[in-house]
A and B are shown apart, each in its own frame.
Chain A
Amino acid sequence: MKIAEYILIVEDDDWLAAHHERILTGAGYVVNSVPHAIAAIESIDVHRPDVLIADVFLAGPNAFTLLHELQSHSDFADIPVILCTNIAHDIAGEDIALYGIRRVLDKTTMQPQDLIAAVRSVNL
Chain B
Amino acid sequence: MKGSVFGVTNDSKRLNFSVISPTIAAAHELKAPLALIRQLSLYLESDNVSHGERERLLQQITLTSERGLRLTNDLSRTARLDDSLFSMEPLNPIQICEGVVEELSPLFMAKHSTLSVAQKRTSPTVVGNRQLLHRVLSNFADNALHYSESTRPVQFQVSSSQAGATVRLAVRDYGPAVPLDIWKRVYQNLGHASQTLQSRPQSSGLGLYVAGEFARVMRGQIGAIRHKDGATFYIDLAASTQLRLL
Query: Which residues of chain A have a CB within 8 Å of any CB of chain B?
Result: 12-16, 19, 22-23, 26, 35-39, 41, 44-45, 57-62, 64-65, 68-69, 72-73, 76, 86-87, 90-92, 94-95, 98-99, 107-108, 110-112
- A-facing residues in B180-223 (Cβ within 8 Å): 197-198, 200-203
Contact B179 A60 (CB under 8 A): yes
In angstroms, Cα B2 to Cα A69, docked, is: 11
Q: For residue A95, which residue of chain B has the nearest CB?
A: B12
- B interface residues, how many (CB within 8 angstroms): 44
Knowing A41-B4, A45-B1, A86-B28 touch, does A57 contact B201 (C-beta < 8 A)? Answer: yes
In the complex, how many angstroms separate the beta carbon of A23 from the nearest chain B beta carbon? 7
Per-residue interface assignment for chain B, residues 27 to 63, with 1 indicating a CB less than 8 Å from any chain A CB and 0 otherwise? 0100110111011101100101000000000001000
Residues from chain A with Cβ under 8 Å of B15 in the complex: 64, 90-92, 95
Please indicate the chain A residues that have their CB under 8 angstroms from the CB of B178 in the complex. 60
A120 to B34, CA, bound (A): 27
Judge whether B4 and A69 touch: CB under 8 Å: yes
- Contact across chains for A15 and B40 when beta carbons are under 8 A apart: yes
Distance between Cα atoms of A110 and B36 in the complex (Å) = 11
| Cβ–Cβ < 8 Å partners of B6 in chain A | 37-38, 41, 61, 65, 69
Q: Is B87 an interface residue (CB 8 A)?
A: no
Between A and B, 30 residue pairs with Cβ closer than 8 Å are: A12-B201, A13-B146, A14-B111, A15-B40, A15-B60, A16-B36, A19-B36, A23-B43, A35-B201, A36-B201, A38-B176, A57-B201, A57-B202, A57-B203, A59-B175, A60-B175, A60-B178, A62-B10, A65-B10, A69-B1, A72-B4, A72-B8, A86-B28, A86-B32, A91-B12, A92-B12, A92-B14, A99-B12, A110-B39, A112-B39
